[in-house]
Amino acid sequence: MIRIAIADDHQSLVDGIQLHLKKETDIEFVGTANDGETLLQFVRDQNPNIVITDIRMPKLDGIQATKKIKKEFPQTKILVFTMFDQEDAVKQMLKAGADGYILKNATLEDLLTAVRSINDGSSYFDEQISIPNIEEEPMANRDQLLTRRQYQILQLIAQGKTSLEIADELYIGVYTVDTHRKNMARILGLKGKGELLRYALERKYDF
At 62 the three-state DSSP class reads helix
Question: Going from the N-terminus, what domains does the chain have, and what CATH number goes with each?
Answer: 2-125 (3.40.50.2300), 139-206 (1.10.10.10)
pLDDT of residue 134: 45
Q: Is 161 exposed, middle or buried (0-12, 13-18, 19+ CB in 10 A)?
A: middle
The rounded distance, in Å, linking the Cα atoms of 195 and 152 is 17
**Residue 74: which of 86, 85, 66, 82 has the closest Cα?**
66
CB contact set of 151 (below 8 Å; sequence gap of 6+)? 143
pLDDT of residue 50: 96
For the chain, first and last CA: distance in Å? 34
pLDDT of residue 162: 92
The rounded distance, in Å, linking the Cα atoms of 123 and 57 is 23
Q: State pLDDT tens for residues 60-100.
A: 899 999 999 998 998 899 999 999 888 788 888 888 889 89
Q: State pLDDT tens for residues 141-180.
A: 566 778 778 888 999 998 889 999 999 999 888 888 888 8
Q: State pLDDT tens for residues 21-52.
A: 878 889 998 888 999 899 999 899 999 999 99
* pTM for this entry: 0.68
Which range (53-62, 69-78, 184-193) has the least confidence? 184-193
CB contact set of 74 (below 8 Å; sequence gap of 6+)? 97, 148
